[in-house]
């Protein structure tokens, strides 16, 4: 289910605070960032079936929706950096 508008705003605010903490450049406005969060959420919604189909049979059949979503997020964060993933998971060996 897609995020509510309030939750999309929460994501945008959290991202701004995260990037501010590490002085990461944000070259777009707050409104543009919120639009990007919404577009990303829409994309996840529209492509959920495709992602599910791409998973191996065991994971597709036995992981819950929440676990599959977390799996997607963790892999995506790892593509940002392992350090970022470590902040999320606590430890990445």
Partner 1 sequence: MASGDTLLIFHPYNNEPPATNYATLDTRNQHPCLDFDAATNESAMFSAIMPQHYAGTTGVTVYLHYAMSSAEADTVDWDVAFELIGDQDLDIDGDSFAAVNSVDDTTVPDTAGLVDIVSVAFTDGADMDSVAVGDSFRLKVTRDAVSDDAAGDAELYKVELRET
Among 1, 6, 23, 64, binds partner 1 (CB under 8 A): 23
Contacts with partner 1 by CB under 8 A: the residue count is 18
Write the binding mask 24 to 63 for partner 1: x where contact by CB under 8 A, - elsewhere. Answer: xxxxxxxx-x------------------------------
CB atoms within 10 A of CB 60: 13
Instruction: Report how far apart the first and last C-alpha atoms of the chain are (Å, whole number).
Output: 33
Q: How far is CA 18 from CA 30, 40, 42, 73, 78, in A?
A: 14, 18, 22, 17, 16
Binding site for partner 1 (CB under 8 A): 9, 12-13, 16-17, 19-21, 23-31, 33
């Amino acid at each position: 289910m897609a995020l509510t508008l309030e939750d999309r705003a929460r994501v945008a605010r959290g991202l701004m605070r995260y990037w501010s903490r590490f002085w990461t450049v944000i070259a777009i406005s707050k409104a543009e960032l919120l639009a990007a969060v919404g577009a990303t959420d829409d994309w996840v919604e529209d492509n959920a079936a495709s992602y599910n189909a791409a998973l191996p049979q065991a994971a597709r059949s036995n992981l819950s929706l929440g676990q599959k979503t977390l799996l997607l997020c963790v892999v995506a964060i790892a593509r940002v950096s392992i350090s970022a993933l470590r902040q999320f998971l606590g430890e990445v060996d």
